[in-house]
Amino acid sequence: MKNSLKALLAVTAILSFSALAAPPWQSNYQQGMQEFAINGAQGTSLTFSCDQGGNNPGTKNIFLTLSNGQTFDTVNTNSEFDVKVDGKEFYLYDPASRVGLANWTLFWEMLGKTKSTTFTITMAGKSFTFPVSNAKAVFKSQDAEQCIRNPSF
């Protein structure tokens, strides 16, 4: 009984620690769309998508989904996002424009180099924090080649 209790406590501690660890970025590709997504601490999710052969090749979009299910993005709702990494700000409001695309690229380069554990995205005066976690691995992945590392102007 004593050993069973110790084993149960050990498993509980491991599971609790795993739950506290930053969730990794997820990469997904289907029907011509490459997506990179991460969940935030406030029940929010952030998704970066690139159309790589779907309906609008080359189109990039950012989606911020709040805990209540409301979604904001740079294409359909024309939302403007201010992202801060290591104190540097990147205005991600229109990835289809030259400035927006340059900021998209700079943001991902910074995220691939940062030593910070989090970054912040602000929209309409509200800020949300997301873990950096395995962003470096995502940045260096083959999936990122056309989407976030080498966007075409």
Number of domains making up the chain: 1
**What domain range includes position 94?**
23-149
**Is residue 60 domain-resident?**
yes
pLDDT (tens digit, 0 to 9) for every residue of the chain, 153 residues total? Answer: 555 444 333 333 333 333 445 568 888 888 888 888 999 988 999 998 888 777 777 788 889 999 999 999 887 877 889 999 999 998 888 777 788 888 888 888 888 888 899 999 998 889 999 998 888 777 777 777 767 655 543
**HEC profile of 10-74:** HHHHHHHHHHHCCCCCEEEEECCEEEEEEECCCCCEEEEEEECCCCCCCCEEEEEECCCCCEEEC
pLDDT at position 110: 87
pLDDT at position 38: 92
- C-alpha 2/C-alpha 65 separation (Å) is 46
- Tokens 């601490």 belong to 41
**Is residue 74 domain-resident?**
yes
